[in-house]
Chains A and B, each alone.
Chain A
Amino acid sequence: MRTIDTLRRSGIAVSPDRTIRDAAEVMDAAGVGSLAVTEGEQLLGIVTDRDLVRRALARGLPPDARVDSVMTTPVVTIDAEADLHDAFALFRRHAVRRLAVVDGRRFVGMVTIDDLLIDLASDLADLARPITAEVIFGHRDAGVPAPG
């Protein structure tokens, strides 16, 4: 499956000259915990609600500080056409909870560990269903020939 086909959450991007107050208000309005920071559609970095707490609030930055002063860069990215297994490998290799999905250098969305876990839990439930039925309702042998 292509990574681009797994994007469960919409991606939201702000320009680097926006303030950290703007970033916090956008997160609140959009119901997201992270924003891409882009110049046009070129990805520069990512800012998370955790960044706003640890790099801004805890250090006493003013609300009108620029968002690029607290963003994480460079960003761990995955190509939109890459197989989803490549995303698992990136999460294993890097200590991150989200990957920016890009088409070339253009930002197109974000894939998070939470999203992948939800998909995996759903797949596991599908796989477990026949086993659960067998354990609860007993083993079904169909078409056993009668002894001659």
Chain B
Amino acid sequence: MHASVGDRIIVKGHRVGEHDRDCEVLEVRGTEGGPPYVVRWGDSGHETLFFPGSDAVVQHFEHSGSE
């Protein structure tokens, strides 16, 4: 997995009916965008270290150009 600061990581629910979780990448600790990442959890605002498994996908932050 590769991520950059500002990307959003979606963690798929593990049980039927369980909703997905999301967090924002605040810092990349690995080399070349690799894990671990310091993330902020959307639901609580807590910051943790995050080590992605196969349940996680990255939504890359799109840098919009100036208008």
In contact, A8 and B44 (Cβ under 8 angstroms): no
A41 contact set on B, CB distance < 8 A: 29, 36, 49
Q: Is the interface of B mostly helix, strand, loop or mixed?
A: loop
Tally of contact residues, A, Cβ under 8 A: 22
Name B42's contact: one of A9, A29, A107 (CB within 8 Å).
Answer: A29
Q: Is A51 an interface residue, CB under 8 A from the partner?
A: no
Name B55's contact: one of A10, A13, A25, A36 (CB within 8 Å).
Answer: A10
Q: Is the interface of A mostly helix, strand, loop or mixed?
A: mixed
Report B46-64 CB contacts with A as 1/0, cut-off 8 Å.
Answer: 1011111111100000000
Binding site for A on B (CB under 8 A): 11, 13-14, 18, 21, 23, 29, 35-36, 41-44, 46, 48-56
Binding site for B on A (CB under 8 A): 7-14, 22, 25-26, 28-31, 35-36, 38, 41, 107-109
